[in-house]
Structure 1
């Protein structure tokens, strides 16, 4: 028994020494980290005929990418953008999660610029990683929430898991989140954090209303464009779970700019009336109707001569 323990200890010391040796040199350290400590988790994913490379951080994203792209709520918007985007256009994704639209729109046309907005820390990093994996040098990722005023505010996260998009600012419409006000108050008191292991979630699991919050910077889009010296967008996708009205109120100049031809906005019946009041007044009309109770509606500006 003692001899067996001695052999085990010598093997352990030998492996530790080998590991330390590998980490001394840049190339061996990178190879060991890439293939042993953090093996590659990259998938080639097809969206409506456009192939992108995406990092797979966990169970949720893997399930969504395998089962979701061909039959989910996003495909009408994907097909519209594939038809309407042209070389030289500028695309904005507000509420990027892991950057899906920023990635595929870069495959649809040679965009002059692409901007993705994602305030949640895990998803911001994931969007940057995916932009890097696809080598989109024209794409800017900003860790900002888009609203109607500049401030710091709390962002509430449904599942603290990379790639999961459910979250809301404190002043968003929260009708889509069950018991959201109570959950927010519990988080403010430091109670009720993670009551479920996010790494075990699948896309069909029931989620708590909110399990985490972060303090993020909120800015109106018009101010962001001016201060960051961005190009005016020609197309936008807005998916911010109840914040769409506040987003539109902070982008009056953007809506008035004739460069903007189309927006896809995820709406429900609680926010749709105010969304369309703003858009119709700015000269937009419905191009594609949503297919779910909360889903994407595509709005386009009337073309000259029509």
Structure 2
């Protein structure tokens, strides 16, 4: 609980409003203990999520509006109806719901673990965006085939290592294969250390100039698979991307360095991105405009 309180008080959306933030946290903690059934949370003005106690990937949105504030706000301000967003490691679908329910963009959401995939599809159905979202219950890698995944960690499962025993087999394809020459504007990759192999199967996608931004988690989780995530950074730089930070309330891109915790934002064609961000309409989260 102490860690959660610290997260809430230091979150960019709640910082400076400690009483309101803590009241929301403790209200959720109380109600989720009294009512153990899933409830519908109003995510943004035009989107909703199924949430329940302990659901990794959702409760941070309840406490703080947008769990990964800068990255989620960047998505909301960058995308437009008709754009293509790719959500690799979609989990319960928070990013997909923002892209397709709030903004109206098309999404391809990829989630390999069957139970988590069920949560994802339930959130898509809740928002009635089946016509905007393609969901794939597969993994991504450098080639087609199959991989073993853990299955006992709720929404925190990952590609299994030799030490894992409670595992399932999952079909795997490459990003280039599933896109079939479609080009996304924005790509989000959160695959618990397997990012290297995802990008090894995405050579055409990375080379496509229509791909303007990538949100990717590089927190050394790849070490357990023998991957050096410095290589990912160099790969993206070689394709013309640069690391950037985003200040959502100011709609401002800033120079930044690669993060070793949480997500790193890579962009290219900076003038295009700045124009999109500045021209985006207001988004309402918990009654506040961003």
Establish whether TM, by shorter chain, passes 0.5.
Answer: yes
Structure 2 residue aligned with 1:294:
261
- Name the SS of the counterpart of 1:61 in structure 2: coil
Aligned-partner Cα distance in 2 for 1:68–1:86: 25
Q: How far off its partner does 1:257 sit?
A: 1.0
> Quick one: which of 176, 183, 204 aligns to 1:222?
176
Equivalent residue for 1:168? 158
Q: Greater CA radius of gyration, 1 or 2?
A: 1
| Corresponding residue of 2:122 | 129
Once superposed, what is the RMSD of the aligned Cα atoms? 2.8
Give 2:251's aligned residue.
Answer: none
Secondary structure in structure 2 of the residue aligned to 1:294: coil
Other-structure match for 2:242: 285
Closer, same or farther: CA 53–231 of 1 in aligned 2, 3 Å: same
Deviation string, structure 1 residues 5-34 (Cα, Å, up to 9, x no partner): xxxxxxxxxxxxxxxxxxxxxxxxxxxxxx
> Is the 2:47–2:102 contact (alpha carbons within 8 Å) kept by the matching residues of 1?
no
Q: Do the aligned partners of residues 291 and 76 (structure 1) sit closer, same or farther apart at CA in structure 2, a change above 3 Å counting?
A: farther
- The whole-number CA distance in structure 2 between the counterparts of 1:232 and 1:114 is 12
Say whether residues 1:148 and 2:150 are aligned partners: no
Equivalent of 1:255 in 180, 185, 206 = 206
Q: How many Å apart are 1:66 and its aligned residue? A: 6.0
Q: Is the 8 A contact 1:285 1:302 kept in 2?
A: no
Within 1, Cα distance between the matches of 2:266 and 2:201? 18
DSSP 3-state at the match of 2:128:
coil
CA distance in 2, matches of 1:121, 1:110: 26
CA contact (8 A) 1:286 1:300 kept: yes
Q: Per-residue deviation at 1:272? A: 3.2
The C-alpha deviation readout for 1:225-264, integer Å capped at 9, x for no partner, is 22xxx74211111100001111111101011111111110
1:76 aligns with 2:86: no
Figure out how many residues of one structure are paired with residues of the other and give that number: 221
Change (3 A) 1:66 1:278: closer
CA contact (8 A) 2:57 2:91 kept: no
Trace 1:8-19 onto structure 2 (pairs within 5 A): none
SS at match of 1:217: strand
* C-alpha displacement of 1:44: 2.4
Q: What is the SS of the residue equivalent to 2:158?
A: strand
Q: Structure 1 residues 81 and 290 mapped into 2: Cα distance closer, same or farther (>3 Å)?
A: farther
CA contact (8 A) 2:244 2:257 kept: no
Aligned to 1:54: 49
Aligned to 1:266: 217
**Following TM superposition, by how much is the alpha carbon of 1:64 offset from its aligned partner in structure 2, in angstroms?**
4.4
Q: Distance in 1 between matches of 2:79 and 2:62?
A: 23
